[in-house]
Amino acid sequence: MRRLSLIVATLFCLIAVCSLLTPKGRTQEITTPRSADVFHTTASNIIIPQARSYALDDPQNQIQISEVTAEVRILQQVATTTMDVGLTNPTDRVQEAEMLVPVPDGAVVRAFTFAGSAKEPTAKLLPKGEAKMIYRSIVSKLKDPALLEFAGYNLVRSSVFPVPAHGTQRVRLVYEHILAADGNRVDYVLPRSESFEATETPWKISVRVNSRSPISAVYSPSHLIGIERPAPQQAVVKVAGDKKIEPGAFRLSYLVEGNGLTASLLAYPDARVGGGYFLLLAGVPASFRGAQENTIKREITLVIDRSGSMAGEKIEQARAAALQVVEGLNMGEAFNIIDYSDSIARFSERPVIKTDATIRQARAYIKRLRSDGGTNIHDALVEALLQSPTPHTLPLVLFLTDGLPTVGERRETAIRSAVLANNKHNRRIFSFGVGFDVNAPLLTSIANSTRATSSFVFPNENVEAKVSQVFARLAGPVLAEPQLAMVDSSGSVTTRAVRELLPAQLNDVFEGDQIVLLGQYQGDDPLHFRINGNYLGAPKTFDFKFDLKKATTRNAFVPRLWASRKIARLIETISEAGADNAQLSRSINSAALASNARSLSAGAHISSVGSATGSGAALDPRLKELVDEIVRLSTEFGVLTEYTAFLATDGTDFSRPEELNEQARQGLVNSAQNTRSGMGGVTQAVNGNAQMTQSSANRSNFFLNQNMQRVEITNVQQITDRTFFRRNDRWIDARVLDREKALKPDQTIEFGTPEFYRLVDRLVGEGRQGILALSGEMLLSIDGKTVLIKAPPKE
């Protein structure tokens, strides 16, 4: 890796020199100022593509950023970023714009072009110091400190003229820089504003990675991404979202393949937890993709609901899904089909090996499936788990149902217990809930407890498509039954190096999978991870050692991701604890309704009957600490769910924690515990699944409400490692929320003063200048003191 970096650096220097010697064409002439450039411009607008546009005179003359497209090409650790920026002029006159583009350290501008220029466009590449003076000059003119969030970056400056009246202009900037590498991990960063105002501009971001060695993992902690792998040495990444993507710098990391499992560590120091937080990223070799002979064989049991409610389109789609799964298995792998209603039937006494003959028989069996009767979930699961296993295979179950248990054992806790008691062969149960009339917490629990996942098919979705999507992810098991242990300096296993691991148990790793493990580390000694498992059919051990000297507060996404998963796990625990209480509540209400109906026929007075577990009932004392912890983590890390969204309401009194905890308790009881099926139950499960496995920032705190509507909460923000709640026109540091009402600032800093810029310099040095993107007054906790930053006066 070091030799590769030296070669890349040499090539890059040659590229940079050549770029300066390039004769004038349609690309830019690059000039470097000899002294600090005081900001003077004849332009009427300032354009910062990663943030927004600013009108220097009349706001009605403001040029709009219509769209930004960023295409990144990474070749052997050299990144070429092409930014296409669309500008729209709404006025009756031709305008000029001053464009400022923050770029990373070491960036070299390769091209700057736009249409209609009378002369060759020129661009200045300003280093950090001169860029800082430009930012300060503009901030003084605009009375808006938000630009200072880019202090610490280099800056490309250029004039754009003309921007036609009632017309558009398209500007292209191309720059290159060498990417930082940490062991086998290579990191890319595209600067973007932390402000949600920037999300109003449509963005598209794509990255194509070409590596000399195969790539084992591709990961973004900042944004949801889609990944395609055309070849082991290539990856194509697109940021998810319909043009509107979440704010903040786009971060991407990829791991260059090592010997088997490849891993890297990102750490954030925090003495409050005894050391800090870590994220372990690991990936399996990409070179095994599609190589059937190199992977572990699978044994798949399809368990199909054929109850009466499956009649029509659902049973047809279930048959098609079953056929696709069986046909999709490799020759020599094993399968079985169990179908159930109020009775249980099986294709075979035990799983059979896929051959031409067994496939013909399976087709005929699937074709004969008909829907009728009730839903005996308990017995269907037990039958699937008690089968004799196929030797040297990974046993998987695809369990499908569209209803609540109506026959046999119907208690949720009893069904969960039966799964644990009878799963002696460690089968993974991938569950599918079809429609809304399912017990969502039950399906989620049995999946999570068996190293699998749950999926839900909404009424307008196709069963076959959802099952096929999951089955495709189960291709080519590479690492089965992975076990994690920590090793101390003497080589002995230790239980004291890390804690609070999420997930607590590693899942199997299939082709294209990667491990994202979050937790807390103790002390500052190097971390030694040891992962054992069935690797490509044989036992193997992988050891990874990481020095914590590279732990940095710039990895602030790590503790927030950990907190998000932790909250999801606590919610799941509370939900599971309410299983039978919810059923009891429904029984009580059903009996009460029947009694009231009889009373009505007799002309008697009807009185309301409350839920046995409603808001007036006392929560199990053992769960109180779970609710309290959810509220604490939600406040500290700015991670809000449907149960804690009320914390973002202006006027919430954080000086009364017991009242806040009680409000959260009521929401958890009424929803997480009592709403287990229907649209509300399924949307809660979907939210929980996303949060339980969350690997990228959810800056907008979005979730689905019980009507399946997307909800976003943007008046609570975590930027870098600070959480802020917006209260009226002021952003309050979460660390002082409980003292907000009686709080008197220890220091007040006026915008634009020397004290203000000293604070800015400090934030830049700590990598926390992103908080300046928040508009309005700000109450910060710094060194144990409360500092009020006054907003600029409005003109």
pLDDT digits (tens, 9 = 90+) for 297-318: 999 999 999 999 999 999 999 9
Q: What is the mean pLDDT of residues 542-563?
A: 97
pLDDT digits (tens, 9 = 90+) for 141-189: 888 888 899 998 999 999 999 999 999 999 999 999 999 999 999 999 9
CA torsion angle for 518, 710, 724, 138 (degrees, to 10)?
Answer: 110
CA-based nearest residue to 295, from 476, 88, 443: 476
Alpha-carbon span 135 to 155, nearest angstrom: 10
| pLDDT on residue 244 | 82
3-state secondary structure of 628: helix
Roughly how many angstroms between the first and final C-alpha of the chain, as a whole number?
55
pLDDT digits (tens, 9 = 90+) for 639-688: 999 999 999 998 899 999 999 999 999 999 999 999 999 999 999 999 99
CA-based nearest residue to 282, from 217, 357, 228: 217
The one-letter code for the residue type at 646 is: F
Cβ neighbours of 484 (radius 10 Å): 18
Q: β-strand 352-353 against 344-346: which pairing, if any?
A: unpaired
Alpha-carbon span 48 to 87, nearest angstrom: 11
Alpha-carbon span 723 to 560, nearest angstrom: 10
Residue 371 bridge partners (DSSP): none
Q: Which residues contact 784 (CB under 8 A, 6 or more apart)?
A: none
Alpha-carbon distances of 730 from 139, 656, 725, 733, 746, rounded to whole Å: 20, 20, 8, 10, 17
| pLDDT on residue 116 | 75
Judge whether 405 and 378 are in contact, CB under 8 Å. yes
Alpha-carbon span 730 to 717, nearest angstrom: 13
DSSP state of 451: T
| 359 backbone dihedrals φ, ψ, rounded to 5° | -70, -40
Please state, for a pLDDT cut of 90, what percent of the chain lies above it.
78
Confidence of residue 445 (pLDDT cuts 50, 70, 90): very high
- CB-based burial, 670-696: b 16+ in 10 Å, e otherwise: bbbbbbbbebbbbbbbbbbbbbbebbb
Alpha-carbon span 609 to 595, nearest angstrom: 11
Q: Tell me: cis bond preceding 202? Omega within 30 of 0 counts.
A: no
In this predicted structure, the answer to whether residue 519 has a pLDDT above a threshold of 60 is yes
| pLDDT on residue 728 | 85
Alpha-carbon span 125 to 135, nearest angstrom: 14
| pLDDT on residue 26 | 35
pLDDT digits (tens, 9 = 90+) for 578-625: 897 755 444 434 433 343 333 333 333 322 223 334 444 455 677 899
| pLDDT on residue 714 | 92
- What is the secondary structure of 551-606 as a DSSP string? --GGGTHHHHHHHHHHHHHHHHHHHHHTHHHHHHHHHHHHHHHHHHHHHHHTTPPP
Q: At what angle do helices 557-577 and 678-692 cross, to 10 degrees?
A: 140
| 137 backbone dihedrals φ, ψ, rounded to 5° | -65, -45
Q: Which two tokens stand for residue 21?
A: 């010697």
pLDDT digits (tens, 9 = 90+) for 338-362: 999 999 999 999 999 999 999 999 9
Q: Which two tokens stand for residue 167?
A: 């017309």
Q: Which residues contact 724 (CB under 8 A, 6 or more apart)?
A: 638, 716, 717, 718, 731, 732, 733, 734, 771, 774, 778
DSSP state of 669: I
| pLDDT on residue 306 | 97
Q: Identify each DSSP E strand in 435-535 by its residue range.
A: 454-457, 477-487, 493-494, 498-502, 509-510, 514-522, 527-535
DSSP state of 166: T
Judge whether 497 and 525 are in contact, CB under 8 Å. yes
| pLDDT on residue 759 | 95
Q: Which two tokens stand for residue 51?
A: 């943030």
Alpha-carbon span 512 to 9, nearest angstrom: 31
Q: What angle do CA 411, 415, 419 make, to 5 degrees?
A: 170
Alpha-carbon span 602 to 372, nearest angstrom: 38
Location of structure tokens 């990255």: 207
The one-letter code for the residue type at 222 is: S
Instruction: Identify the burial level of 331 via C-beta atoms within 10 angstroms of its C-beta, where 0-12 means exposed, 13-18 middle and 19 or more buried.
Output: exposed
Alpha-carbon span 294 to 287, nearest angstrom: 10
Average pLDDT, the chain: 89
- CB-based burial, 352-371: b 16+ in 10 Å, e otherwise: bbbeeebbeebeebbeebeb
Alpha-carbon span 556 to 718, nearest angstrom: 9
CA-based nearest residue to 533, from 483, 475, 476: 483
Alpha-carbon span 223 to 468, nearest angstrom: 26
Q: β-strand 108-114 against 168-178: which pairing, if any?
A: antiparallel
| pLDDT on residue 294 | 64
Alpha-carbon span 700 to 111, nearest angstrom: 35
In this predicted structure, the answer to whether residue 293 has a pLDDT above a threshold of 70 is no
Q: Which two tokens stand for residue 538?
A: 């044989």
Q: Give the predicted TM-score (pTM) of the model.
A: 0.90
Alpha-carbon span 595 to 474, nearest angstrom: 51
Q: What angle do CA 178, 183, 186 make, to 5 degrees?
A: 40
Rg (CA), the chain: 29
Q: Which two tokens stand for residue 82?
A: 């092409």
In this predicted structure, the answer to whether residue 238 has a pLDDT above a threshold of 90 is yes
Alpha-carbon span 314 to 213, nearest angstrom: 46
Q: Tell me: cis bond preceding 391? Omega within 30 of 0 counts.
A: no
Alpha-carbon span 576 to 402, nearest angstrom: 20
What count of residues does the chain have? 795
| pLDDT on residue 757 | 94
In this predicted structure, the answer to whether residue 269 has a pLDDT above a threshold of 70 is yes
Q: Identify each DSSP E strand in 348-445 by its residue range.
A: 352-353, 393-401, 428-434
The one-letter code for the residue type at 334 is: A
H/E element, 684:
helix 678-692
| pLDDT on residue 169 | 96
3-state secondary structure of 160: strand
Q: What is the mean pLDDT of residues 565-569?
A: 98
Alpha-carbon span 664 to 676, nearest angstrom: 18
Half-sphere exposure of 658 (CA within 13 A, CB side): 0
Confidence of residue 295 (pLDDT cuts 50, 70, 90): confident
Alpha-carbon distances of 199 from 53, 249, 339, 488, rounded to whole Å: 13, 12, 49, 46
| pLDDT on residue 597 | 36
3-state secondary structure of 29: strand
In this predicted structure, the answer to whether residue 435 has a pLDDT above a threshold of 50 is yes
| pLDDT on residue 224 | 96
3-state secondary structure of 512: coil
Q: List the single range of 82-86, 473-477, 663-667, 790-794 with lowest mean pLDDT.
A: 790-794
Please state, for a pLDDT cut of 70, what percent of the chain lies above it.
88
| 638 backbone dihedrals φ, ψ, rounded to 5° | 65, 30
Q: Which two tokens stand for residue 105?
A: 């350290």
